[in-house]
Amino acid sequence: MKLYKYTDGRANASGQKIKERREAAGLSQEELAAQLQLAGLNLNQKAISRIETGERVVPDFELLYFSKVLNVQICELLPADE
């Protein structure tokens, strides 16, 4: 399966917003990973780091978990239309 890059070589459109929301919630990457694991999504700190730097694809079902754990709407994890 061919994966296309979003912009600037990033593999996702949500990584920067996830980082912003994580920091606003006062969570470290490790703490976010722990909360995601408790919610049922098995990600570790390294995966969170790769998402935030745009190295890792974020499937839509994972956005549901991020939305729940960070207590935001899914649309808040995506960049605004330009």
Alpha-carbon Rg for the chain, nearest whole angstrom, is: 12
Please report the DSSP string for the chain in residue order. Answer: ------STT-S-SSHHHHHHHHHHTT--HHHHHHHHHHHT----HHHHHHHHTT-S---HHHHHHHHHHHTS-GGGGSPPP-
Residue 81 domain flag: no
Look at the alpha carbons of 78, 56, 31, 66 in this order and tell me if their dihedral is positive or negative. Answer: positive
CATH code where residue 59 lies = 1.10.260.40
pTM strictly above 0.85 = yes
Residue 9 domain flag: no
Residue 6 domain flag: no
What are the pLDDT tens digits along the chain (82 aa)? 556 676 678 999 999 999 999 999 999 999 999 999 999 999 999 999 999 999 999 999 999 999 999 999 999 999 886 5
Task: Count the domains in the chain.
Answer: 1
Find the domain containing 69 and state its range: 15-76
